[in-house]
Chains A and B, each alone.
Chain A
């Protein structure tokens, strides 16, 4: 006799979605969280895209713990003293079903875990899973750090986050290379609500999402600013090998971004309420582990399902999508009495037919493009240079014309036509 039909490790969005689906299918499920409450170990940039919740929680927007609804999305390219921003705003995103929302992860993750508990899942916090229990090759449960803490189940779903010691223990990752990871560091800065409204040009519960390139020095990466109700989330995402090889620490690079003339007026003042850091699986499709073993599924960041594709920075939705698929596939497999990898194969097909693997497959080149030398070291200066050339009035000289400006700026920034065409073509194929 097993202790539970299923054990889900990690009460982040992937784990809670999995546990919710299992409980709703009438299965006994134990959701194990190592933090004192769900979300206490979790950190992200700051935006949840909620439409994946439509099928799980009708009218989720009426109860989800939201800081602000994102109605402005801006992408900013910086050099030392220039900035070019593409700034889109839509009032439609400020009404149901909305688009993105800023939220604190401890609030959001606890809310989603409560949904699983309401459906019948057993949530056990402050408990670290220390390893897998096996019968031969087959996973039959988990060991925990509680006294007599072994628990058995027909299926274990590893939603144990980016470091997933369970997926590694099961041999599902063939190669764990620092190149595939970034580290995010973030300050949560308190400012009065009215000050945020004024600085960012929003009202009520509307908010802003800034993504920033050219703000990380020699380290490939990017920056972000998100508005919460009465705080800002200000941070950087930094490529691990370059960070480790460079001379500057994460908080120093963050201080540099905050001091930039285009950023400082938005973020200065206020008190840092919390500093946080977390590793991100950056390389998408190409770094994903095997997702299925006998008695074991992997979902969310544990399966590297975070989408870091430049203009799209998503993770919580992929975690929920994959977790829910894992929950449904295992409920089905348990019902049929076959939780071997063949019996659990429905997980893979569910992911393939949903955005989770469709987006990742389509955008598999995006992380390489976005973190590549052209986008990171040359594009911001090139684009700012072109804008400078277009908008500067150099009388008595006549206007130079766009083609001449582009040629001049490409030369000045060491961008070869060959490379621009190659990456442009790849970008078209990837994003088009």
Chain B
């Protein structure tokens, strides 16, 4: 195989600067809707891998390392399951070499 092993997801995300807003989550998930969702596109599509399926059928999410791209709410199959806004000014992802 390759002499350059693929980097771990953790290392990948460590390359990105996030100025985390500890006071407010800019993503909220109405977990009751996720239980009825058969698609759960957010889990595979979110580039930051922020959506994790739970054993009980719900979805655990984390807002801190978010690229603020919008993929999750665009692919969300259940009306209103994901509410998404921008983080407070100055917070969130900060790109330097994009």
By a beta-carbon cutoff of 8 Å, the part of chain A in contact with chain B is 34-36, 39-44, 104-106, 125-128, 130, 144-146, 162-163, 165, 176, 178, 181, 183, 185-188, 228, 231, 240-241, 243-251, 255, 258-259, 264, 268-269, 272-279
Most-contacted residue by chain A among B4, B12, B95 (CB, 10 A): B95
A162 pairs with B98, CB closer than 8 A = no
Contact with A178, one of B44, B68, B75, B92 (Cβ below 8 angstroms)? B75
Q: With A240-B71, A273-B15 as given contacts, are A250 and B47 in contact (CB-CB < 8 Å)? A: yes
Question: Measured between C-beta atoms, what is the minimum distance from B83 to chain A in Å?
Answer: 12
Bound Cα distance A250, B67 (Å)? 13
Bound Cα distance A323, B67 (Å)? 24
Most-contacted residue by chain B among A36, A44, A244 (CB, 10 A): A244
Please give, as numbers and ranges, the residues of chain B lying within 8 Å of A264 by CB-CB distance.
Answer: 2
Between A and B, 22 residue pairs with Cβ closer than 8 Å are A40-B93, A40-B94, A40-B96, A41-B94, A42-B95, A42-B98, A105-B95, A106-B98, A125-B89, A125-B90, A145-B88, A165-B85, A176-B74, A178-B74, A181-B74, A183-B45, A240-B41, A245-B41, A248-B44, A264-B2, A273-B97, A277-B47
Please give, as numbers and ranges, the residues of chain B lying within 8 Å of A248 by CB-CB distance.
Answer: 44
A277 pairs with B67, CB closer than 8 A = yes
B71 pairs with A279, CB closer than 8 A = yes
Bound Cα distance A39, B95 (Å)? 7
Contact with B69, one of A104, A106, A183 (Cβ below 8 angstroms)? A183
Most-contacted residue by chain A among B4, B49, B86 (CB, 10 A): B86
Contact with A34, one of B3, B15, B89 (Cβ below 8 angstroms)? B89
A188 pairs with B74, CB closer than 8 A = no
Bound Cα distance A39, B87 (Å)? 16
B15 pairs with A275, CB closer than 8 A = yes
Bound Cα distance A246, B45 (Å)? 9
Chain B residues numbered 42-74 whose CB sits less than 8 Å from any CB in chain A: 42, 44-45, 47-49, 67-71, 74
Question: Measured between C-beta atoms, what is the minimum distance from B68 to chain A in Å?
Answer: 6
Chain A-chain B contacts (Cβ-Cβ < 8 Å), number: 142
Bound Cα distance A130, B85 (Å)? 9
By a beta-carbon cutoff of 8 Å, the part of chain B in contact with chain A is 2-4, 6-7, 9, 11-13, 15-16, 19, 39, 41-42, 44-45, 47-49, 67-71, 74-75, 85-90, 92-98
A278 pairs with B94, CB closer than 8 A = no
Please give, as numbers and ranges, the residues of chain A lying within 8 Å of B16 by CB-CB distance.
Answer: 274-276
Bound Cα distance A243, B13 (Å)? 20
Return the chain A residue nearest B4 by Cβ.
Answer: A268
Return the chain B residue nearest A44 by Cβ.
Answer: B98
Bound Cα distance A187, B5 (Å)? 15
Most-contacted residue by chain A among B15, B39, B97 (CB, 10 A): B97
Bound Cα distance A247, B41 (Å)? 9
Contact with B98, one of A127, A128, A178, A186 (Cβ below 8 angstroms)? A186
Q: With A245-B39, A249-B44, A268-B4 as given contacts, are A276 and B89 in contact (CB-CB < 8 Å)? A: no
Please give, as numbers and ranges, the residues of chain A lying within 8 Å of B71 by CB-CB distance.
Answer: 183, 240, 243, 277, 279
B94 pairs with A276, CB closer than 8 A = no
B89 pairs with A145, CB closer than 8 A = yes
